Chains A and B, each alone.
Chain A
Amino acid sequence: MRMLGRTAQNLFWLSRYVERAENMARLLEVGYRMSLTSHREGGASEHLISMMQAAEVDEGFDAKHTIADVDTVAHYMMFDPDNPSSVYSCLRAARTNARSVRTAITTDMWESMNGAWLEYAQIRPRDVRGAKLLELLQWVKQRSHEFRGALLGTILRDDGFNFLQAGNFVERADNTARILDMKYYVLLPQATQVGGDLDIQQWTLILRAASAHRAYRHVYHDRYKAQNIADFLILRPEMPRSLVYCASFVQQNLDSLAKIYGRQEKCHEAAASLMAMVNETSMDAIFARGLHEFLEDFIARNNQVTDALSESYNFF
């Protein structure tokens, strides 16, 4: 039986939303930690705002709030249904997509998704403060891992699997690119290589947002350096949130679809073009072109993959 275009679409977005919920939790965690240790006046607020910029939710926040403190930002990012990227909205959207394709996912995946949503929907935002907030952020990440585990452990490696995986990695690539772009200026080679306290704090923020602060040491055995950090998150194939890693997965999943369906589509060109940006290149080449320009271009091409995928496989 062939898969409905709508089913493929729901699978793709199901994974994207789970990944996004996790990324939002990760970003908020970074913003929160930074705000705790920033003693300059207004410093806490600054960190929270730049974190929201990376998550691209700052405009929606500004429309509702005048003060960016831990309470207002955490509420907006965790619970506000008006914020389409809040953890609440992501989990709800993921669960709605899962419910639409219940026949196309496994019971384990459904129970994991349904259970996460039912638990999350019960939480009263005013109970989530301080240590409780960190605990809940950890919980969000764990539920995302659980869902991914259920997915990898139980689903058939057919077209549905590849739509799910493509959604996951398109979202992750987008997230990493945005985190880098938010702070691209502290990653430029001409920025101080010595690194003052402020730089170190910014670098830590970037690495933590990508869950990469410890992995960095394993790979580089070195102190934080701007160029290394950019290299790590863009070109390192062993880093599971790097652009090259995500792009290669997207391409791989799309290639599997071509194999299953017996033909190449428009989306395969788009995925190849995304991959070409990060394959067989160097940070020097990227810096020469301009890091910010490179990241903007990457985000745009990543979006084109989604558009082409939607068109090639009859999403709605």
Chain B
Amino acid sequence: MGDKTPFDEMYNPDGSVREPYRALAGWLSEQPDKALALMQADAEAIFRKLGITFAVYGSEEGTEKVIPFDVIPRIIAANEWRKLSQGIEQRVKALNAFLYDVYHDQEILKAGLVPEKLILKNAAFCPQMMGINPAKGVYAHIIGVDIVRVGPDEFFVLEDNLRTPSGVSYMLEDREAMMLLAPDLFHRSKVAPVETYPENLRRTLESVAPEGFRGRNPNIAVLTPGIYNSAYFEHSFLADQMGAQLCEGPDLFVEDGKVYMRTTTGPEQVDVIYRRIDDDYLDPLTFRPDSMLGVPGVFDAYRAGNVTLVNAPGTGIADDKAVYTYVPEIIDFYLGEKALLANVPTYNCTDEKQRAWVLENIADLVVKEVHGSGGYGMMVGPTATEAQHEEFRQKIIARPDNYIVQPTLDLSTCPTHIDGNVAPRHVDLRPYVLVGDEVRITPGGLTRVALKQGSLVVNSSQGGGTKDTWVLEE
């Protein structure tokens, strides 16, 4: 791998244009010189003016950056999307069933399909969740599944993000920006809408209000760590779009097992909390006692069934990188189906033979820390230095269970605007899934693009950008 030309989503190897990209190719060829560069500048100005920024950690307070937006959309054909969305739906159902089982009878462990130690000794396992029955049996309500493509029909799931995945506001704003910048391009294609997301999010949250809840519209709060959090824009955006109250920890309090917000006229009960705070910081009385962000007692209110937490605490056990390798078995166990979407082949370093092979071939492989995220704690063999290879060899030897290793996937490329020219760049895809009374998947998702030539790392923290993602309707 790595030597052959990657799959390009727009151009066939012979230079002809793939079917879904026909309209785009025509439009691109008609754009006068510099039109894309002007559009790019407009896009940046729009995003900054609207305050669509993320905070950069480690830099001076208040430093906010705009995630680069690429003006050339990424396009997915209707039949491609159908397959993807079926695979995603299957996956999120199985993972929710797995979570229910792990926090109840643990049948899958008894059956020996997933090693007991891997779950019960896992830092992401949340013993406080044992025996709790969340509304509608749903644990992971909001999911972003990271998918990569390596060929016309080859898609792999890279990871399932079940702990408050971010980025959905970029999916929505990218579409807004694209419609402002190139309305004529939309006329030529039938693009499935993404604007339904906020309403679907609201419906999903309402559908999981506590079971005993009756008689008024549920009060929904979005719980944010505050304006200095890197995803604050998204928190306020979603609260605004779905008409929920945007709260920080100190805005909420618990009394008699119920959660209230402090309003100008006194306390008002909260029924559903879409929390964008990690498990550890959610409730200082149950989790980290030093948390200043959370709400003391909120977990007890949850346990008592008086409030729904979205996502539930402890969902991380199902998107743990080590548990990931078992997802095909998990799908088979709970649904009796074969997985529709493939996992990336993953090497287990605790196995001596596999480890020896990994250490030998590390220059061609990707090494990921089991609990890492955002592109941190990760090494991409082909672009890393000798010294980094050696560093990660030693890390794996020291803690083989702390790493998973995968082949370097040749991610597909899409045409991307780079300094006035159009050039192929690697992309991935994060579709957003909502699970409540039903499964709702927004067509498309967030396409992240590695703007550096040859780079496979798409994370915004590592110089990645985003693209509007089009699913064509038939």
- A102-B240, A314-B262 known; A2+B227 contact, CB < 8 A: no
Does A4 contact B247, Cβ atoms closer than 8 Å?
yes
Query: Is A60's CB within 8 Å of the partner chain B?
Result: no
On whether the beta carbons of B265 and A2 are closer than 8 Å, the reply is yes
Per-position 1/0 for A85-127, Cβ under 8 A of B: 0000000100010011011000100110011001000000000
Q: Does B391 contact A (CB under 8 A)?
A: no
In the bound complex, residues from chain A placing their C-beta under 8 Å from that of B266 are 314
Nearest residue in A to B246 (C-beta to C-beta)? A103
Q: A99-B232, A103-B239 are in contact. Are A111 and B50 (CB under 8 A)?
A: yes
Asked if B245 lies at the interface with its beta carbon under 8 angstroms from chain A, I say: yes
Seed contacts A4-B245, A6-B248, A107-B50; 12 additional CB < 8 Å A-B pairs: A1-B219, A2-B264, A4-B251, A4-B263, A4-B264, A5-B262, A5-B263, A5-B264, A99-B227, A102-B236, A111-B49, A316-B250
Given known contacts A2-B268, A314-B262, A115 and B250 CB-to-CB distance under 8 angstroms: no
A58 within 8 A of B: no
Tell me the nearest residue of chain A to B265, going by C-beta: A261
Say yes or no for B193: interface residue by CB 8 A criterion: no
B2 at the interface (CB under 8 A from A): no
Most B-side CB within 10 Å, residue of A2, A3, A100, A107: A2
B250 near A6: Cβ-Cβ < 8 Å: yes
Cβ contacts under 8 Å, B262 to chain A: 4-6, 314
Please give, as numbers and ranges, the residues of chain A lying within 8 Å of B236 by CB-CB distance: 99, 102-103
A-B contact pairs, 20 of them (CB 8 A): A1-B243, A2-B265, A4-B247, A4-B261, A5-B251, A5-B264, A6-B248, A6-B250, A8-B264, A92-B62, A100-B226, A100-B227, A102-B51, A102-B240, A103-B246, A107-B50, A261-B265, A313-B264, A314-B262, A314-B266
- Complex interface residues of chain A between 1 and 21 (CB less than 8 A to chain B): 1-6, 8
Per the bound structure, the CA–CA distance linking A75 and B36 in Å amounts to 41
Tell me if A103 and B227 are in contact (CB < 8 A): no
- Residues on A with C-beta less than 8 A from B239 are 103
Which of A4, A96, A110, A261 counts the most chain B CB atoms within 10 A? A4
Q: How far is the CA of A261 from the CA of B265 in the complex (A)?
A: 7
Residue of B nearest to A313 (CB): B264
Q: Please, which residues of chain A bring their CB within 8 A of the CB of B246?
A: 102-103
Say how far A141's CB is from chain B's closest CB, in angstroms: 22
Name the B residues within 8 Å of A92 (CB-CB): 62
When the two chains form their complex, are residues A314 and B232 in contact, meaning their CB atoms are under 8 A apart? no
A-B contact count (CB 8 A): 59
Contact with A along B254-276 (1 / 0, CB 8 A): 00000001111110100000000
> Closest residue of chain B to A312, judged by CB?
B264
- Nearest residue (CB) in B for A118 is B48
Q: Which 9 pairs, one residue from A and one from B, show the smallest C-beta to C-beta distance?
A: A2-B263, A313-B264, A103-B240, A102-B236, A5-B262, A3-B264, A8-B264, A99-B227, A114-B51
Option from A96, A107, A118 in Cβ contact (under 8 Å) with B227: A96
* Nearest-Cβ distance from residue B297 to partner chain A, whole angstroms: 19
The interface residues of chain B lying within 8 Å CB-to-CB of A80 are none
List residues of chain B with CB within 8 A of the CB of A5.
251, 262-264
A114 CB to closest chain B CB (Å) equals 5
CB proximity of B47 to chain A, nearest CB, Å: 11
Interface residues of A (CB under 8 A from B): 1-6, 8, 92, 96, 99-100, 102-103, 107, 110-111, 114-115, 118, 159, 261, 313-314, 316
Within 8 A of A (CB), among B448-464: none
Q: Which residues of chain B have C-beta atoms less than 8 A from A313's C-beta?
A: 264-265
**Contact between A3 and B51 (Cβ–Cβ < 8 Å)?**
no
Q: Collect the chain B residues with CB atoms within 8 Å of residue A4's CB.
A: 245, 247, 251, 261-264
Chain A residues within 8 Å of B250, by CB = 6, 316
Contacts of B62 in A (CB 8 A): 92
* A110 and B51 form a contact (CB under 8 A): yes
B263 cross-chain contacts in A, Cβ below 8 A: 2-5, 314
- Give A2 Cβ to nearest chain B Cβ, in Å: 4
Complex interface: chain B residues within 8 A of A3 (CB): 263-264
Point out the residues of chain B lying under 8 angstroms from A114, CB to CB: 49, 51
A99 and B264 in contact, given A1-B219, A4-B247, A6-B248 (Cβ under 8 angstroms) = no
Give Cα A6–Cα B250 distance, bound, in whole angstroms.
9
How far, in whole Å, are A314 and B51 apart by their CA atoms in the complex? Answer: 28
What distance in Å separates the Cβ of B424 from its nearest Cβ neighbour in chain A?
Answer: 34
CB neighbours (8 Å) of B49 from chain A are 111, 114-115
Residues of A within 8 A of B268 (CB): 2
Min C-beta distance of B54 to chain A, whole Å: 13
Which of B48, B232, B245, B263 has the largest number of chain A CB atoms within 10 A?
B263
In the assembled complex, how far is the CB of residue A96 from the closest CB belonging to chain B, in whole angstroms? 7
Q: How far is the CB of A105 from chain B (nearest CB, A)?
A: 10
Q: How far is the CA of A135 from the CA of B246 in the complex (A)?
A: 39
- Collect the chain B residues with CB atoms within 8 Å of residue A8's CB: 264
Q: How far is the CA of A1 from the CA of B243 in the complex (A)?
A: 9
Q: Verify A159–B51 contact, CB threshold 8 A.
A: no
- Of the listed residues A103, A107, A159, the one surrounded by the most CB atoms of chain B closer than 10 A to its CB is A103
Which B residue sits closest to A159, measured CB to CB?
B264
Contact of A99 (CB < 8 Å), options: B51, B240, B248, B265: B51
In the bound complex, residues from chain A placing their C-beta under 8 Å from that of B219 are: 1
The complex places the Cα of A184 from the Cα of B227 at a distance, in Å, of 43
CA distance A3 to B245 in the complex (A): 8
Chain A contacts for B240, CB-based, 8 A: 102-103
In the complex, the chain A residue whose C-beta lies closest to that of B48 is A118
Complex Cα spacing A313 to B50, Å: 30
Which residue of B51, B243, B251 is within 8 Å of A6 (Cβ)? Answer: B251
**B contact residues around A115 at 8 Å (CB):** 49
Residues in A whose Cβ lies below 8 Å from that of B247: 4
CA distance A44 to B266 in the complex (A): 53
- Residues of chain A contacted by B51 (CB below 8 angstroms): 99, 102, 110, 114
Give every chain B residue within 8 A of A99 (Cβ-Cβ): 51, 227, 232, 236
Asked whether A1 lies within 8 Å of B264 as measured between CB atoms, the reply is no
Name the residue of chain A whose CB is nearest to the CB of B240: A103
Residue of B nearest to A163 (CB): B264
Q: With A and B bound together, what is the CA distance between A115 and B227 in angstroms?
A: 17
Contacting residues of chain B (46-85) with chain A, CB-CB under 8 angstroms: 48-51, 62
Contacts of B50 in A (CB 8 A): 107, 111
Tell me the nearest residue of chain A to B49, going by C-beta: A111
Give A6 to B226 CA distance when docked, in angstroms: 12
Please report the C-alpha to C-alpha distance between residue A103 and residue B233 in the assembled complex, in whole angstroms. 11
A100 CA / B248 CA spacing, docked (Å): 10
| Complexed CA–CA distance, A111 and B265 (Å) | 29
A282 to chain B, nearest CB (A): 38
What is the bound-complex CA distance between A123 and B263, given in angstroms?
39
Once bound together, how far apart are the Cα atoms of A100 and B227, in whole Å?
6
Taking CB atoms, residues of chain B closer than 8 Å to A100 are 226-227
Query: Closest residue to B50 on the A side, CB-wise?
Result: A111
Task: Report A120 CB to chain B, min CB distance, Å.
Answer: 13
